[in-house]
């Protein structure tokens, strides 16, 4: 098992950028985003339009320190009934609990679009970290979109963690905990062959996954 962490560009929109583009004060933007203060509908619409245009995401850590809520870790897994990754999810939840953080679990159901949508939703919700468990989808559009989400999470004070899958290509700010899937498959095949077996059935799973 190996662990790798890469850094990337964090030049994303800040609350000052939103305020400048909307022509209002930083305090006004903060009031709109927090939802805890009465603001005019015109101000709210103006600020939220700029938020969408700039793809601005509130800094999760700063919001927590300011009393905006308990940090949350999002654990995204293909299927919660899979024993191996269910144990990993349990370990992540246990570590989060020791830090006083909350955990939530989402299932992707072997659907790359659903996985990307969930990562984006967690990004918008300002979670402290997104942990992806299991194989990744090995095609360019998926890789590019996931890399963009990783950079946006990093810029917002959050982080993407990839478990059981290879790192994203390029300088992407994500932590990778990868497994030697090829080595494991080789060891199993060698054992069967050494035992005299010559007809071996392989059920690789989803053809587009890196673990297939």
pLDDT tens, 103-128? 999 998 888 999 999 998 898 888 99
Q: What is the mean pLDDT of residues 21-42?
A: 82
pTM higher than 0.85, yes or no? no
C-alpha distances in Å from residue 59, one per residue of 14, 65, 74, 97, 158: 9, 10, 16, 21, 7
Q: What is the mean pLDDT of residues 196-207?
A: 77
- Lowest model confidence (mean pLDDT) among 7-11, 34-38, 88-92, 128-132: 7-11
Looking at residue 59, its pLDDT comes to: 62
Q: What is the mean pLDDT of residues 11-17?
A: 78
Residues 6+ apart with CB under 8 A from 176: 2, 3, 4, 5, 161, 162, 165, 166, 167
Q: Which has more confidence, 97 or 63?
A: 97
pLDDT tens, 145-190? 999 999 988 888 889 999 988 888 888 999 998 777 678 778 888 8
Kind and range of the H or E element at 163?
Answer: strand 160-163
Q: What are the beta bridge partners of residue 72?
A: 102
Q: Is the Cα torsion angle 133, 108, 158, 169 positive or negative in sign? A: positive
* pLDDT classification of 211: cutoffs 50, 70, 90: low
Looking at residue 164, its pLDDT comes to: 86
Task: For the chain, give the mean pLDDT.
Answer: 81
* pLDDT classification of 36: cutoffs 50, 70, 90: low
Domain 2-8+58-194: CATH class, spelled out: alpha beta
Residue 28: how many other CB atoms lie within 10 Å: 20
Token pair of 140 as six digits: 């360019």
C-alpha distances in Å from residue 165, one per residue of 4, 14, 45, 129, 191: 12, 31, 40, 17, 25
Burial 63-98 (b: 16+ CB within 10 A, else e): bbeeeeeebbbbbbbbeeeeeebeebbeebbeebee
- Whether the per-residue pLDDT at 37 is higher than 80: the answer is no
- Whether the per-residue pLDDT at 10 is higher than 70: the answer is no
């Amino acid at each position: 098992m190996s662990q790798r962490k890469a850094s990337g560009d964090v030049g994303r929109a800040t609350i000052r950028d939103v305020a400048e583009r909307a022509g209002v004060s930083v305090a006004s933007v903060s009031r709109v985003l927090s939802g805890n203060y009465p603001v005019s509908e015109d101000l709210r619409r103006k600020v939220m339009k700029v938020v969408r245009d700039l793809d601005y995401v509130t800094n999760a850590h700063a919001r927590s320190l300011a009393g905006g809520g308990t940090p949350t870790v999002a654990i995204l897994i293909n299927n919660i009934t899979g024993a191996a990754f269910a144990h990993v999810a349990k370990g992540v939840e246990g570590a989060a609990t020791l830090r006083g953080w909350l955990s939530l679990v989402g299932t992707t159901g072997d659907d790359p679009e659903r996985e990307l949508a969930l990562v984006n939703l967690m990004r918008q919700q300002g979670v402290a970290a997104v942990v992806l468990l299991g194989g990744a989808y090995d095609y360019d559009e998926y890789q590019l979109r996931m890399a963009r989400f990783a950079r946006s999470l990093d810029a917002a004070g959050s982080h993407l963690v990839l478990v059981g899958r290879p790192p994203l290509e390029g300088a992407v700010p994500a932590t990778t905990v990868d497994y030697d899937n090829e080595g494991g498959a080789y060891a199993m095949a060698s054992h069967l062959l050494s035992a005299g077996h010559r007809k071996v059935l392989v059920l690789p799973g989803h053809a587009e996954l890196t673990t297939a």
